[in-house]
C-alpha cells in the first residue's frame, strides 16, 4: 500500500491537507484536499494491514503523520513531527475506516469508527476524543500530569453545550464513573433529549477489568451524579479538581463541597474560567484514571541507574515502588517518598527475597542490581548469577508478578564495529568471556530470557556506559581527570567506536520494556527478548570524553592530546595489579586495572531498530544538551 500525503502552506506553517490511499491493484481512496505538487509518500508492505496512525499536532491541525503496521512498526514520517505533541490512534484488528475532519484548508482531526475489542493503553485509544478544540477557546484547568504534554492541545475534549452553548438548557445531570474508590474513569453528560450523547474519558468503562487489582476492595467501583436543572437556568460556573482523582462542580445555584473521604491527600485546584460561560471539559492526563495501580520492585533502586528508574516510575501517580538492596536508601530528589518502600535484603539469600515478595506482592520486577565492573570474580558471580536465580525463582512463584526486566550490559556481548542487531549478537560464555563481569552478566541474561513464560514475561535491556546526573562512576572519573590535569591524555589511537547512553533514557527504556511486557498486544513480542539501548550515536571513546571536558569549560584540541601507546598502559596496569597483590595479598586493588584498559580495545556499535519497533524507544534527541546538563550538575556537586 502507498499513502500519499498532501500539504498546504499557510501563515501558521505546513499542515496536512489530505490523504490518498493507493492499493497494490492501483485502486485509491482519498480524504480531504489533494495538492499533487509537493506530496510525500509512505510505502507500506502489502502483506500487513494498517494497525493505526501516529500524528504530530498543534492547535491548528496535523503537521505530520506516520502509519503503524500489523507488526507494530512505525513507518517513515510524512511531514515534520519535530517539536510537536504526538497522538496515536490504534486498533489491534486493523483500521479500515477513518473519520477525518477538515477546516477550509487542512486536516484537523482523525478518528476511527469503533472501539477495539482488546484492552489498549489510553494513549492508543484516543486521538482528540471526540473533537479537536477550536483555538479561540480558553483552557483553564489542572496542570498536565506529563510535563511533555502541550497544555494547549488537550488529549480529550467534549463540548456538552456545543461551541455556541445550545445544549446547556437541556442538561439534566453530570455522571461520574469511579474506579477503585477514587479514580474517575468517565464523565457522562445527560440531557432531556436522549439523542444527545456527550462523555469525557473511557467510553468502554463497562468492559470487565477483572485482571486489574483493586487497592481498596472495600470501596470498589461506583457511579455518582450531579443533578443540574439546565431548563431552569442552572449552569456550571466553576470546577474543583484533584489531579488524577476527583472533581466537583459548582453551579450558579449550589456551591458543592470537596469530597474529604478520599484515600490520598491530594491538593484541590479550583478552576474558574476566564470566558463568559463553560461549554465543555477537557483532560490532559494520558491515562485519565485508566492506569492500573502498580507495585514495582526495583532491585538496586538505590544505585545510579536504579535511582533514575525509581524517579521515573513515580511520575505515575498509580505506582508504588519497593527498593531492594542490602543497604537501601532513598534516591535523591524523589518526588513522593510516601510511595517508596525500602527493603533491606540480600538477593543471594532466598528467604530474604521471599519475605519481600510476600510483603509487596509486586506486579513487576526491574533487576538493576549488580556489583561494580571491577569487583572480585567471586562477588560478581554470586550477585549477578545466584542473585538473579533467586529473584527469578521467587518472581515465578508469585501469582501477582507478571513482568521481569533485567539490566544487561554491552560487556555481555561479543564486540563489533559494525551495527549489530540482537538477532546477530552473541553472548559470552565460559569459554571466551574476557572477565568475570562479562561472564556473570551474560549468564544472568540467559537465565532471565530462558525464564520467559505465560505467567512471567521477561526481557533484558542491554545498555552501554551510562552518564548523567547522580553518576558515581564515569562522570566522577572525568572530573578527577580535569582536576589532576590528566584530561589531555589518551590511551592508544582511539580508533574503536563505542555506544553511550544518557541515564534518563536508560531508565525510560526499562519502563518501556516493563510496559511492553504488561501490554496484551506487545507482551508476546517483547517476552523472552533482549533489546539494545543507547543514544544511537556510536563514537570514539576519547572523542566522547572530550565533549564532557569542553562542557565543563576545559576543551582539548587534538594537537594538545598526549597519546600513551596501548601496550604500555596494559603493561603498567598488569604491573600495578601484581605489585598490589604481593604487598596486600590481594586485599587492596589498584586504581588502574588491566580489565578496564582492555575494555578500551573492545568497542561496540548497535542497531536500535528492534527497541524502536517493539518498545517504542526513541534515542536522545540532543546528546550535547544531556552532556551539558550532566557536567553542570557535576561541577556543582562533585
Enumerate the active-site residues. Answer: 441
Cell (9 digits) for 200: 469525557
Instruction: Map 505-523 to HEC letters.
Output: HHHHHHHHHHHHHHCCCCH
State the burial class of residue 469 (Cβ atoms within 10 Å of its Cβ: 0-12, 13-18, 19+).
buried
Q: Measured between alpha carbons, how far is 249 from 544 in angstroms, rounded to an integer?
A: 56
> Rounded to 5 degrees, what are φ and ψ at 139?
-125, 95
The residues near 176 (Cβ < 8 Å, ≥ 6 apart) are 184, 186, 187, 188, 223, 224, 225, 226, 247
**% helix / strand / coil in the chain, to the nearest 5?**
25, 25, 45
Using alpha carbons, select from 113, 106, 107 the residue that is nearest to residue 89: 113
460 close to 451: Cβ distance less than 8 angstroms: no
Using alpha carbons, select from 494, 495, 486 the residue that is nearest to residue 560: 486
The residues near 377 (Cβ < 8 Å, ≥ 6 apart) are 436
The residues near 387 (Cβ < 8 Å, ≥ 6 apart) are 299, 346, 347, 348, 369
Going by the DSSP 8-state scheme, the letter that residue 413 receives in this structure is B
Using alpha carbons, select from 153, 209, 145 the residue that is nearest to residue 177: 209
**What does DSSP say about strands 364-367 and 78-79: parallel, antiparallel, or unpaired?**
unpaired
250 close to 238: Cβ distance less than 8 angstroms: yes
Rg (CA), the chain: 28
State the burial class of residue 47 (Cβ atoms within 10 Å of its Cβ: 0-12, 13-18, 19+).
exposed
State the burial class of residue 558 (Cβ atoms within 10 Å of its Cβ: 0-12, 13-18, 19+).
exposed
The residues near 210 (Cβ < 8 Å, ≥ 6 apart) are none
Going by the DSSP 8-state scheme, the letter that residue 76 receives in this structure is -
Amino acid at each position: 500500500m502507498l499513502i500519499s500525503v498532501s500539504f498546504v502552506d499557510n501563515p501558521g506553517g505546513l499542515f496536512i491537507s489530505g490523504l490518498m490511499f493507493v492499493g497494490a491493484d492501483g485502486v485509491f481512496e482519498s480524504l480531504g484536499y489533494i495538492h499533487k505538487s509537493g506530496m510525500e509518500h509512505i510505502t507500506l508492505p502489502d502483506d500487513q494491514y494498517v494497525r493505526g496512525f501516529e500524528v504530530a499536532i498543534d492547535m491548528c491541525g496535523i503537521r505530520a503523520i506516520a502509519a503503524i503496521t500489523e507488526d507494530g512498526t512505525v513507518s517513515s514520517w510524512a511531514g515534520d513531527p519535530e517539536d510537536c505533541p504526538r497522538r496515536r490512534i490504534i486498533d489491534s484488528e486493523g483500521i479500515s475506516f477513518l473519520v477525518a475532519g477538515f477546516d477550509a484548508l487542512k486536516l484537523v482531526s482523525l478518528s476511527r469508527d469503533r472501539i477495539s475489542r482488546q484492552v489498549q493503553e489510553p494513549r492508543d485509544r484516543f486521538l482528540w476524543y471526540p473533537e479537536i478544540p477550536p483555538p479561540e477557546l480558553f483552557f483553564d484547568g489542572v496542570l498536565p500530569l506529563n510535563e511533555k504534554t502541550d497544555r494547549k492541545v488537550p488529549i480529550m475534549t467534549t463540548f456538552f453545550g456545543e461551541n455556541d452553548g445550545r445544549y446547556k438548557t437541556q442538561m439534566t445531570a453530570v455522571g461520574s464513573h469511579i474506579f477503585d474508590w477514587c479514580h474517575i474513569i468517565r464523565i457522562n453528560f445527560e440531557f432531556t433529549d436522549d439523542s444527545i450523547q456527550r462523555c469525557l474519558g473511557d467510553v468502554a468503562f463497562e468492559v470487565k477489568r477483572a485482571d486489574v487489582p483493586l487497592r481498596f476492595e472495600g470501596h470498589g467501583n461506583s457511579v455518582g451524579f450531579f443533578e443540574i436543572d439546565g431548563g431552569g437556568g442552572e449552569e456550571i460556573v466553576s470546577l474543583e479538581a484533584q489531579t488524577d482523582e476527583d472533581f466537583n462542580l459548582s453551579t450558579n445555584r449550589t456551591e458543592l463541597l470537596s469530597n474529604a473521604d478520599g484515600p490520598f491527600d491530594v491538593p484541590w485546584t479550583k478552576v474558574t474560567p476566564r470566558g463568559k460561560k463553560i461549554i465543555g471539559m477537557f483532560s490532559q492526563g494520558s491515562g485519565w484514571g485508566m492506569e492500573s495501580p502498580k507495585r514495582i520492585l526495583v532491585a538496586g533502586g538505590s544505585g545510579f541507574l536504579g535511582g533514575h528508574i525509581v524517579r521515573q516510575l513515580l511520575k505515575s501517580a498509580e505506582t508504588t515502588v519497593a527498593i531492594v538492596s542490602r543497604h537501601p536508601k532513598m534516591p535523591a530528589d524523589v518526588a513522593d517518598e510516601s510511595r517508596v518502600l525500602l527493603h533491606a535484603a540480600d538477593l543471594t539469600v532466598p528467604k530474604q527475597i521471599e519475605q519481600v515478595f510476600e510483603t509487596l506482592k509486586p506486579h513487576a520486577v526491574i533487576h538493576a542490581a549488580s556489583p561494580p565492573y571491577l569487583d572480585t570474580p567471586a562477588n560478581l558471580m554470586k550477585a549477578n548469577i545466584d542473585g538473579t536465580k533467586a529473584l527469578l525463582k521467587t518472581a515465578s512463584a508469585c501469582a501477582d508478578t507478571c513482568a521481569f526486566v533485567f539490566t544487561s550490559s554491552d560487556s555481555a556481548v561479543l564486540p563489533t564495529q559494525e551495527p549489530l542487531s540482537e538477532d546477530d549478537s552473541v553472548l559470552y560464555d565460559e569459554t571466551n568471556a574476557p572477565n568475570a563481569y562479562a561472564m556473570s552478566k551474560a549468564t544472568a541474561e540467559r537465565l532471565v530470557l530462558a525464564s520467559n513464560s505465560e505467567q512471567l514475561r521477561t526481557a533484558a535491556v542491554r545498555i552501554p556506559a551510562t552518564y548523567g546526573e547522580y553518576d558515581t562512576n564515569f562522570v566522577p572519573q572525568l572530573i578527577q581527570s580535569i582536576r589532576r590535569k590528566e584530561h589531555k591524555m589518551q590511551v592508544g589511537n582511539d580508533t574503536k567506536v563505542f555506544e553511550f547512553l544518557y541515564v534518563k533514557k536508560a531508565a525510560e527504556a526499562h519502563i518501556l520494556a516493563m510496559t511492553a511486557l504488561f501490554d496484551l498486544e506487545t507482551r508476546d513480542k517483547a517476552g523472552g527478548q533482549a533489546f539494545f539501548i543507547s543514544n544511537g550515536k556510536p563514537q570514539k571513546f576519547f572523542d566522547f570524553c572530550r565533549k564532557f571536558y569542553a562542557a565543563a569549560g576545559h576543551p582539548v584540541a587534538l594537537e594538545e592530546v598526549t597519546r600513551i601507546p596501548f601496550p604500555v598502559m596494559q603493561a603498567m596496569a598488569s604491573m600495578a595489579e601484581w605489585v598490589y597483590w604481593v604487598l596486600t595479598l590481594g586485599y587492596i586493588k589498584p586504581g588502574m586495572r588491566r580489565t578496564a584498559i582492555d575494555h578500551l580495545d573492545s568497542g561496540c556499535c548497535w542497531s536500535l531498530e528492534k527497541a524502536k519497533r517493539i518498545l517504542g524507544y526513541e534515542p536522545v534527541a540532543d546528546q550535547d544538551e544531556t552532556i551539558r546538563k550532566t557536567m553542570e550538575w557535576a561541577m556543582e556537586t562533585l
